[in-house]
Amino acid sequence: MEILKVENLSKVYGTGEARVEALKKVSFSMEKGQFGAVVGASGSGKSTLLNCIGGLDEADGGKVFLSGRDLFAMGENERTVFRRRNIGFIFQAFHLIPELDVEQNMIFPLLLDGKKPDQERVEELLEVLGLKDRRRHLPGQLSGGQQQRAAIGRALITHPALVLADEPTGNLDSRSSQDVMDLLCRASRHYQQTVLMITHNRNLTASADRVFQVMDGRLKELGGGQNETLS
């Protein structure tokens, strides 16, 4: 089942001599439950790609379909609500609310939408993420890896069609990075989540079903993480 379809996505920054084509007619699609990783040098356009797919940035051309809905055909308010309900975001900076504990941070997207959390779902996520004994801790009382796990829980709590992870291990040591990767992989398999992750660390792409490379605004697929060949 196709969850994400990107067609001829283009994005330009600046004008004249300062004009940069960040994305050049990028096209690809992802199926339900696939785990994709995007690699590329700094400034190659990979974060721009994620921001456009997530509706955080407006594209200059092309289309993004999520579960068959055209993201850029929506008005701004409609897209904001659709994004909150259908896309989970995980960032390098954890963006947890410091005054809220782990569980409160995780269920916050549901409260924003006026929904009552499913306590069974909350308990399952806390168990999967290894945070049951940290549920009442504030972010400042957690390690970096634990904070990122809480952020992953927040991204998964709404059963989103797509999870977008932008350098989710960028602020973590190697052991915590691998733990986070294992959790994302497990979420993709266990919950049949479609996950698209950006990373500069090519060693972390081994778990991915598909690996893409962005270079000079263009996207090419390198294959699966186990048999990835890089140019």
| Span 90-105, average pLDDT | 94
pLDDT of residue 230: 38
Q: Please classify residue 181 by burial: count the beta carbons closer than 10 Å to its beta carbon, then call 0-12 exposed, 13-18 middle and 19+ buried.
A: buried
pLDDT at 73 over 80: yes
Q: What's the mean pLDDT when you consider all of the chain? A: 90
Cα–Cα distances (Å) from 231 to 41, 89, 96, 121, 209, in that order, read: 13, 29, 37, 42, 19
pLDDT tens digits for range 119-160: 999 999 999 889 999 999 999 999 999 999 999 999 999 999
pLDDT of residue 137: 97
> Which carries the bigger pLDDT value, residue 55 or residue 200?
55
Question: Whole-model pTM above 0.85?
Answer: yes
For residue 54, what are its two tokens? 């997530």
pLDDT tens digits for range 162-215: 999 998 888 888 888 888 888 888 878 888 889 999 988 888 888 889 999 999
pLDDT of residue 42: 82
pLDDT of residue 228: 45
Confidence of residue 224 (pLDDT cuts 50, 70, 90): low
Transcribe the chain into DSSP letters: -EEEEEEEEEEEESSGGG-EEEEEEEEEEEETT-EEEEE--TTSSHHHHHHHHTTSS--SEEEEEETTEEGGGS-HHHHHHHHHHHEEEEESS----TTS-HHHHHHHHHHHTT----HHHHHHHHHHTT-GGGTT--GGGS-HHHHHHHHHHHHHTT--SEEEEESTTTTS-HHHHHHHHHHHHHHHHHS--EEEEE-S-GGGGTT-SEEEEEETTEEEEEE-GGG----
Radius of gyration over alpha carbons of the chain, in Å?
17
Domain ranges of the chain: 32-58+87-227
CA dihedral 37, 170, 160, 118 (to 10 degrees): 140
**Contact, 47 vs 75, CB < 8 A?**
no
Residue 120 to residue 13: CA distance in whole angstroms: 45
pLDDT of residue 109: 93
pLDDT tens digits for range 204-217: 888 889 999 999 99
pLDDT of residue 105: 97
Which of these CATH numbers, 3.40.50.300, 3.40.1410.10, 1.20.1050.10, 3.60.15.10, describes 32-58+87-227? 3.40.50.300
Identity of the residue numbered 68: G
